[in-house]
């Protein structure tokens, strides 16, 4: 295990991902819990993250002194470098907030960190953070690379195995960063590859068996990757002690419900209750057009329906959930104030308490890309594993205004054509999410000699790494033109197509 001590950088999660991509398990812990984690995890190496604070500010975060007394290899990044310097007797000057930018480093001396990656005398691009800066390193730590503005771009004590960088090796803008991190965990810390999805599968199955024993488990399938992977894994562990409940709320995409049912019943032979609740959801949503109201109705009704079905089954002891690692990492917050709710994401929160269920969460340690890899390991079809994320409230938040069956049908057809064109053009995997939105606006058009007065369809496609920020996808005009033509010709009810070129922020990915 590699312990990652978090000082609140936006990109700390990427450190964990890069380390895991190198085949080594890593955990992120807030700096003020690092002492306890050092005991509990018995890590073989420690990484100190970046962070927004200034080490010169009073009360700014520090690593527990035990980190430096542990004798373990340490890699300190950005803020981590500064606090390392200060805590070991160096000097930092500043009071500048951290910001990022491209820079080149020049390698001055060899280091175990660079082996096989960077050569002395050469120059390499990195993503540097500007802000406070170390002006004097502690004894024993010497410069290995510099940049124009950073005399201590890399400074290390090879004997004590303390490595510090002012730049961020974890971001893709430092092209060789992943290799440097791999050097740290393999060459320097000597950690073997112990983190593969095959290992995880075996270990997690044993864990599920010991947690659940002979008890009964229910899981809710959503059509998404996480709930499917969690359910297949649990089924592999405990067989028919698991029952899956699939609540079809009628807000799914074309053929999606059938695919889920077929996959579970036929491909895996996993017991599945398919609840057709389409009319109940439509009735509950009738006349409602406020986005938050729609989300609350869907979330609430989902819980009601799920609970009814679970009771019919005679109840259960455990509820399976596809909770992922980013949901459980405790974040370091410096603002303290409550954050504003932009959207209340629909989930089954509250259900475990209401039904007195314990939780099984076999994906708690995984990032999304690891869940996909595990899905492949478990034999889920590629079309399923590689799916774009899909929101819990489904198409209801892609129809601004009131939801009707007619609008849902129109949207499903347009969305299917759009995704079909994207797949045919080979672009599906380059895009984080792509979908059609049906606007509650009719406009005039002409078809043959006749006047038409029909809905507007907006197409959305974004690239993103985590859904937190996103850029619109720059399709070729020819692609957009051909797709629009197909939608207008094939879908009755749409006579105009527009493309959404808003990034996030300031837009959000979904329209509601």
CA distance 395 to 257: 13
- Between 90 and 392, whose beta carbon lies closer to ligand XMP? 392
CA distance 189 to 408: 55
224 is in an annotated binding site: yes
Q: Where are the beta strands (DSSP E) in 318-470?
A: 318-320, 358-360, 433-447, 450-463
> 459 to 478, contacts with ligand XMP by CB under 6 A?
467
Per-residue burial over 254-281, b = 16 or more CB atoms within 10 Å of its CB, e = otherwise: bebbebbbebbeeebebbbbbbebbebb
Question: Which window, 8-16, 72-80, 265-273, 390-398, contacts ligand XMP (CB under 6 A)?
Answer: 390-398
Is position 346 an interface residue for ligand XMP (rule: CB under 6 A)? yes
Q: Which of the 8 DSSP states describes residue 363?
A: T
Pairing verdict, β 74-77 and 45-48: parallel
Which of 170, 361, 370, 512 is the catalytic position? 170
Which of 40, 96, 312, 345 is close enough to bind ligand XMP by CB under 6 A?
Answer: 345
CA distance 207 to 230: 13
- Shortest distance, position 374 Cβ to ligand XMP, whole Å: 20
- Shortest distance, position 510 Cβ to ligand XMP, whole Å: 3
Pure H helices in 291-447? 291-312, 325-328, 351-354, 368-377, 382-385, 405-424
Task: Measure CA 205 to chain center.
Answer: 23
Is position 508 an interface residue for ligand XMP (rule: CB under 6 A)? yes
- Shortest distance, position 435 Cβ to ligand XMP, whole Å: 8
- Between 389 and 481, whose beta carbon lies closer to ligand XMP? 389
- Between 22 and 298, whose beta carbon lies closer to ligand XMP? 298
Which of 385, 393, 415, 421 is close enough to bind ligand XMP by CB under 6 A?
Answer: 393
- Shortest distance, position 108 Cβ to ligand XMP, whole Å: 44
CB atoms under 10 Å from CB of 24, counted, come to 23
CA distance 86 to 88: 5
- Count of residues interacting with ligand XMP (CB under 6 A): 14
- Between 350 and 389, whose beta carbon lies closer to ligand XMP? 389
Which of 168, 235, 249, 346 is the catalytic position? 168
Q: Give the closest residue to 392 by CA, choosing from 280, 279, 510, 277.
A: 510
- Between 35 and 469, whose beta carbon lies closer to ligand XMP? 469
Is position 392 an interface residue for ligand XMP (rule: CB under 6 A)? yes
Is position 295 an interface residue for ligand XMP (rule: CB under 6 A)? yes
Q: Which residues contact 349 (CB under 8 A, 6 or more apart)?
A: none
> 418 to 457, contacts with ligand XMP by CB under 6 A?
433
225 is in an annotated binding site: yes
Q: Indicate if 78 belongs to the active site.
A: yes
Q: Residue positions in the annotated binding site for ATP?
A: 222-228
Residues that bind ligand XMP (CB under 6 A): 295, 343, 345-346, 389, 391-393, 433, 467, 504, 508-510
The residues annotated as belonging to the active site are 78, 168, 170
């Amino acid at each position: 295990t590699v312990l990652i001590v978090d000082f609140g950088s936006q990109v700390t999660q990427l450190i964990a991902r890069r380390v895991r991509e190198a085949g080594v398990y890593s955990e992120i812990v807030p700096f003020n819990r690092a002492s306890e984690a050092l005991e509990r995890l018995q890590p073989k190496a420690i990484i100190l993250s970046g962070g927004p604070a200034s080490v010169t500010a009073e009360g700014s975060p520090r690593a527990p002194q035990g980190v430096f007394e542990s004798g373990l290899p340490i890699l300190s990044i950005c803020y981590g470098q500064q606090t390392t310097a200060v805590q070991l007797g160096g000097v930092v000057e500043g009071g500048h907030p951290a910001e990022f930018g491209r820079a080149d480093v020049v390698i001055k001396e060899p280091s175990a960190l660079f082996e096989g990656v960077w050569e002395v005398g050469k120059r390499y691009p990195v993503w540097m953070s500007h802000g406070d800066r170390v002006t004097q390193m502690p004894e024993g730590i010497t410069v290995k690379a510099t940049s124009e503005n950073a005399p201590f771009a890399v400074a290390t004590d090879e004997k004590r195995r303390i490595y510090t960088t002012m730049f961020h090796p974890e971001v893709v803008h430092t092209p060789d960063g992943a290799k440097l991190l791999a050097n740290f965990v393999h060459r320097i810390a000597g950690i073997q590859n112990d983190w593969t999805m095959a290992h995880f599968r075996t270990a997690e199955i044993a864990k599920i068996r010991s947690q659940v024993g002979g008890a009964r488990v229910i899981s809710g399938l959503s059509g998404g990757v996480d709930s499917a992977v969690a359910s297949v894994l649990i089924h592999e562990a405990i067989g028919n002690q698991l029952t899956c409940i699939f609540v079809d709320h009628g807000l799914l995409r074309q053929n999606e419900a059938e695919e889920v049912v077929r996959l579970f019943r036929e491909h895996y032979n996993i017991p599945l209750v398919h609840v057709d609740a389409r009319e109940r959801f439509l009735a509950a949503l009738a006349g409602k057009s406020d986005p938050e109201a729609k989300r609350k109705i869907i979330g609430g009704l989902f819980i009601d329906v799920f609970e009814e079905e679970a009771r019919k089954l005679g109840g259960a002891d455990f509820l399976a959930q596809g909770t992922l690692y980013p949901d459980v990492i405790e974040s370091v917050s410096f603002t303290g104030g409550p954050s504003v709710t932009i959207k209340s994401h629909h989930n089954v929160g509250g259900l475990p308490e209401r039904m007195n269920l314990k939780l099984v969460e076999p994906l708690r340690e995984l990032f999304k890309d690891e869940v996909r890899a595990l899905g492949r390991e478990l034999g889920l079809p590629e079309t399923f594993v590689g799916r774009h994320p899909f929101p819990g409230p489904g198409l209801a938040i892609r129809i601004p205004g009131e939801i009707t069956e007619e609008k849902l049908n129109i949207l499903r057809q347009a969305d299917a054509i759009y995704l079909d064109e994207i797949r045919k053009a080979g672009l599906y995997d380059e895009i984080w999410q792509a979908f059609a939105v049906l606007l509650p606006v009719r406009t005039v058009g002409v078809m043959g000699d006749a006047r038409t007065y029909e809905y507007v369809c907006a197409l959305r496609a974004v690239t993103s790494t985590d859904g937190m920020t996103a850029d619109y996808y720059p399709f070729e005009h020819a692609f957009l033109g051909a797709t629009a033509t197909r939608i207008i010709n094939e879908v009755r009810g749409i006579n105009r197509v527009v493309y959404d070129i808003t990034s996030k922020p300031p837009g959000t990915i979904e329209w509601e």
